[in-house]
Structure 1
Amino acid sequence: GSHHHHHHSQDPMQAAQETKQKLTSCLARRYNAEQKLLDLSALGTDETLSSLGSFNNQSLAEKSFKALMHLVSNEYKDPEQKNEAIQAVSLARNDILDVGQVYSLAVTLPRLRRLDLSGNNLENLSKISKWQQEFRFLEELHLTGNPVTTLPNYATEIKKWFPSLQILDGQQIRTPQEAAESL
């Protein structure tokens, strides 16, 4: 066939396929097998994603994030394999205002052990409270650089919310023994 590039008449299925390929390559590039880390920090500066125009507004960013989580779910045969493969996630520097925007992380990776949310715009505990019943196995959480960390009751509350949490912003708040007991 002749190759006429009429972008306005692009087949939506083909467009969706291309988007999926781009997201898949983004995930692959951001996965560190050694650290079992999925590094989704600063997604707004990701060339692959910005070529999709996905992070120009909040709802598109959320959709892209959901799509990424969906891909993660389909990447592995079963939950055990997925939980083994991804134990740490970084969402640093993503202008996150409310964890509701990235809520699907809790659904996709409920057994996550390390989470980095540093350098976002989480203002107060209510912006994190959607995750209050999630991440029962989270051992390490970084929220440095979010306004919420300046609140007086911040560490106490976070410690209550995540029964396995041992390290908050680089400080030990529970011993491994205490974490095991509080589960």
Structure 2
Amino acid sequence: MDQNNPPRRPLMRAVSFDEAGAAIARLLDIAHSDTGQSQRVADFLLAWWNGDDLGHFPVLHLANCDTEISEDMLVIMAYLASAGTTYANAWGHDAAMRELVMARRDIDLPALVDEAHETLAAAFAEIRFLAGRPATDATMKTIRDLCGTLEHLPRWLRPGRLHETGARQTIRATIDDAKALIDPGKPAT
């Protein structure tokens, strides 16, 4: 055996584009769920997507996931080892990855929570103002609509709920609906 040119041996089997795509789809389903391993899977996918900004993936997480999940991660790594730089959007998962960023990382969360609190304060001020006016059908309808729109917002703003799937979309829609009721002539954001 030549010391300068040791024989090469395959460390892993070749992974096809389709196999990698199927593994990504399975991992995205898990990352978007609310299971015990979903955060580890999200960490893996987001570290691949943009590790500098979205965090890194501790390799030991491979040992802390079910075998099938770890194998899917390894399938992606094997594909990347042979194919080079490729991201999930190559398989059409750009939107799912962006949703994962929004669901699992606090990139826009502080501004959204601040806006939700401001909207709650404005809505309560509007309700107090309307309650002091003569009770017309339109006034009572606006009060009922505002109360109905805002009813669940405080629950969505709890720290444990902010990272649930759909939380940001629900908060955004509630803010927009409340603003439309407070100032019907102003377009929603």
Would the TM-score normalized by the shorter structure come out above 0.5?
Answer: no
Higher strand share: 1
Higher relative contact order (CA 8 A, sep 6+): 2
Higher helix share: 2
State TM-score, norm by structure 1: 0.31
State TM-score, norm by structure 2: 0.30
